[in-house]
Homo-oligomer: A and B are copies of this chain.
Amino acid sequence: MTETDTVTALREQLCALHAELPRNGLVVWTAGNVSARIPDSDMFLIKPSGLSFDDLTPESMVLCRLDGTVVPGSLGSEFSPSSDTASHAYVLRHRPDVGGVVHTHSPYATAWAARHEPIPCVITGMADEFGGEIPVGRFTTIGDESIGEIIVETLAGHRSRAVLLANHGVFTVGRDARDAVKAAVMCEDAARTVHLARQLGEPVPIEPHHVDALFDRYQNVYGQRARGDH
């Protein structure tokens, strides 16, 4: 099967994005994975299961259909896809606005998740990025698409692109894989800063209308997007 240039380019990007996970302290060893939707198709790319981040290559990214099955004979199909593939697929099927999904066990966020406690929005960086608290999805086991269902159901009531999975870790979504990785980085940053703040007292809340104003500005004005070169 010959791949389109789009798929080839996405393989490169997805491989490079995986390197951001250990670089930003979000994963250890083989934990964590990123998926990227192939635009205008029913396919996506995802990390192979259980490989070291050092050993990932563009060619080892596994091409899957939105039903979670590997595309037979495709590049990377000699590897098993991430054990979270069914849940990535579920999210991509049910959220057409989502172009990428990230999963990590980043330590501060997972600590909140272990207590089943949402991260309160007490810093402007969280308001910018998530528009409020980062919510917690209910506990489930791993290996089928139930995590995907919980992600979709939990994010439905929130502006947040990040969800804490009870006793487990973090999933984030984005308009593309890079945006989802950014959300994973910013989620851990928020989890850490609010953790530190809470250790020595109680953070002062930000009033809801300020959270709204911060979120609106950041989503619509920040960066180089107005010029289309984000």
Chain A interface residues (CB < 8 Å from chain B): 24, 28-31, 48-51, 78-80, 83, 105, 107-108, 110-117, 122-125, 128, 139, 141-143, 166-169, 182, 185-186, 189, 192-204, 206, 210, 213-214, 217-218, 221-227, 230
Task: Assess A223 versus B30: contact at CB under 8 Å? Given A192-B107, A199-B200.
Answer: yes
Residue from B113, B124, B143 in contact with A217 in the complex, judged by beta carbons closer than 8 Å? B143
Residue from B105, B115, B196 in contact with A189 in the complex, judged by beta carbons closer than 8 Å? B105
Kindly list chain B residues whose C-beta atoms are within 8 Å of the C-beta of A222: 49-50, 83
**Complex: A9 Cα to B196 Cα, angstroms:** 39
9 contacts between A and B (CB under 8 A): A28-B189, A78-B227, A79-B224, A107-B196, A114-B193, A115-B201, A115-B202, A115-B204, A143-B221
Task: Assess A50 versus B200: contact at CB under 8 Å? Given A122-B114, A142-B124.
Answer: no
Tell whether, in the assembled complex, residue A168 and residue B200 are in contact, meaning their CB atoms are under 8 Å apart: no
Chain B residue at minimum C-beta to C-beta distance from A143:
B217
Tell whether, in the assembled complex, residue A213 and residue B111 are in contact, meaning their CB atoms are under 8 Å apart: no
Tell whether, in the assembled complex, residue A227 and residue B111 are in contact, meaning their CB atoms are under 8 Å apart: no
Tell whether, in the assembled complex, residue B206 and residue A167 are in contact, meaning their CB atoms are under 8 Å apart: yes
Residue from B49, B122, B166 in contact with A223 in the complex, judged by beta carbons closer than 8 Å? B49
